[in-house]
Amino acid sequence: MNSKKGYSLEHRKYLRRIRVRQRTILVLQILLLISVFALWEIAAAYGWINQFITSKPSRAWTAAVNLFNRGELWRHLGYTIGETVLGFTVGTMAGIVIAAALWWSDFISRILDPYIVILNSVPKVALGPIFIVWLGTGLKAVVAMAVATSIIVTIMVVHNGFKNIDPNKIKLMRTFGASRLQIFTKVVIPASVPTMISALKVSVGLSLVGTIVGEFLGSKAGLGYLIVYGGQIFNMSLVMAAVIMLSVVSALLYYLVVLLERKIVRYNR
């Protein structure tokens, strides 16, 4: 063994290759992003694209700075992030609980299965006007849209994960006299952690989509409101600034779920 950590020379070379590959991927990702914005700026400057329709990065940046100087930037970001996190939390927790209830009772699962499929196929945008009539414009309707877009997918993904648990493990637990609750807590839940994490990754994006749709239909703040307002006054720089910020928020929320996944995996180990 040639290293202080006890790794062989071949192992250290292998780890070095992995680190180099990861850094190369990160650098190329950053360069690709910079290239897209640079090409966008150049195309607008030389008239290859219509600046009135597409704006350009420098103008979008100016629009974002103006929002910051007026003290409105953090308010709109706060509304969108808060509504998304609230809708995501309620939708995923309720989805997991309902999925557990469906696993617990196969009779109820068979009754509700076609209705869950139908609800999943219904465009959630169509529910927006209903929520506005029921809950009014504002926070409640937006959060309801975020919950509606995430809960059904969470139920389906998690429930399928519960049903696909190795039946031999469940039979073994029953052989030793385990109750249904013990089987669920000792076998089903631990084995379904990867499935639930996958559901969270999907749900966080859908919750953000639901939030933006809700802000489109009835809100006075948030990134969705900025996009609609910018479009109404033909301020495409404001629209593009809001879309870019929305992309950043989406990426941050996704990577927060990834960070949660890493902590859970580390805890299980």
Short-list 134, 132, 150, 147, CA closest to 218: 132
Q: What is the pLDDT of residues 71-115, one digit of tens each?
A: 899 999 999 999 999 999 999 999 999 999 999 988 888 999 889
Q: Where are the alpha helices (DSSP H) in 185-235?
A: 189-191, 193-218, 223-232
Tell me the pTM: 0.84
What tokens appear for 131 in the block? 């929520």
Structure confidence at residue 99 (pLDDT): 93
Which conformational region is residue 225 in: left (phi greater than 0), alpha (psi within -120 to 50 degrees), or beta?
A: alpha
Rounded CA-CA distance 130/128 in Å is 5
Short-list 197, 167, 181, CA closest to 262: 197
Q: With bands split at pLDDT 50, 70 and 90, how would you rate the model's confidence at 5? A: low
Structure confidence at residue 2 (pLDDT): 45
CA–centroid distance for 117 within its chain:
21
Do 95 and 199 contact (CB within 8 A), yes or no? Answer: yes
Q: What is the pLDDT of residues 21-70, one digit of tens each?
A: 889 999 999 999 999 999 999 999 888 988 888 889 999 999 999 999 99
Q: What is the pLDDT of residues 121-131, one digit of tens each?
A: 888 888 888 88
Rounded CA-CA distance 115/102 in Å is 13
Do 214 and 138 contact (CB within 8 A), yes or no? Answer: no
Backbone angles phi, psi at 222, to 5 degrees: 115, 165
- 1 has pLDDT over 80: no
Rounded CA-CA distance 15/24 in Å is 14
